[in-house]
Structure 1
Amino acid sequence: MSFDLWLIFVAVSLLPAISPGPGIMLAISNTLRFGRNATLASATGNAAGLVLIGYAVAFGFGALMSTSALAFTVLKFIGAAYLIYLGLKVWRDKSGFQISAENQVSRKSAWKLFLEALLVSVTNPKAILVITALFPQFMRSGRVDLLEISVLSFTYAALCFANHAAIAFAGGHLRRFLTSARRMRWVRRVTGGLFVGFGSALATASR
Structure 2
Amino acid sequence: MRKNIFISGIVLTSAVLLGACSSNDSMSGMDHSSSSVPAPAPSPQAAAGHNADDVTFAQQMVPHHSQALDMAKLVPSRSTNPKVLDLASRIAKAQDPEIQQMQTWLTTWGAGMSGMPGMTHEPMPGMMSDPDLKKLEGTKGAEFDKMWLDMMIKHHQGAVDMAGTELSKGSNADAKVLAQKIIDGQQAEITEMQDLLTRS
TM-score normalised according to structure 1 size:
0.29
Task: Compare the two structures and name the one with the higher helix fraction.
Answer: 1
Higher relative contact order (CA 8 A, sep 6+): 1
Larger Rg: 2
